[in-house]
Amino acid sequence: MESTLTTLIDEATAVKALAALAQAQRLRTFRALVVAGPAGLTPGTIAEQLEVAPSALSFHLKELAHSGLVSSEPRGRNLIYRANFEQMTALLGYLTEHCCQGESCGVNC
């Protein structure tokens, strides 16, 4: 029986999410949003934390949002970006189910 996590994400969605994370600045940005939790961060705060130009960050946030790994919400004059924990969990579930055949992904030596 398939787990409920793997039913939330298909192969194309998994590839899009993995492609978004396969770039160092986007991975750092996503990690910063995961650490921030549900409160999220403004682009200015992310740029300051990661020491990246706001224009470059904008491109990376757009790619992460397009992949479904982050969402944004207007708050006053700012946008608040948040990690999409449901999508992250679904991606991990997909990888575990399809790449590790539902078992722990450790190597037995």
pLDDT in tens, 26-69: 999 999 999 999 999 999 999 999 999 999 999 999 999 999 99
Whole-number Å distance between alpha carbons of 93 and 57: 28
Kindly report the number of other CB atoms within 10 A of residue 54's CB atom. Answer: 12
What's the pLDDT score for residue 106? 63
Residue 98: band (very low, low, confident or very high) from pLDDT cuts 50, 70, 90: confident
Q: Provide the whole-model pTM.
A: 0.83
Q: Are 106 and 12 in contact (CB under 8 A)?
A: no
CA distance to 40, 42, 47, 56, per residue, from 75 (Å): 11, 9, 18, 22
Q: How many domains does the chain have?
A: 1
Residue 104 has pLDDT above 90, yes or no: no
Q: Collapsing DSSP states into helix, strand and coil, what is residue 16?
A: helix
In a domain, 17, yes or no: yes
In a domain, 52, yes or no: yes
What domain range includes position 92? Answer: 6-98
**Average pLDDT of the segment spanning 13-28:** 97
> How far out from the chain centre does Cα 89 lie?
10
In a domain, 105, yes or no: no
**Average pLDDT of the segment spanning 77-92:** 95
In a domain, 76, yes or no: yes
In a domain, 61, yes or no: yes
CATH of the domain at 20: 1.10.10.10
In a domain, 82, yes or no: yes
Whole-number Å distance between alpha carbons of 50 and 57: 9
In a domain, 1, yes or no: no
In a domain, 106, yes or no: no
* Among 15, 47, 24, 36, CA closest to 84: 36
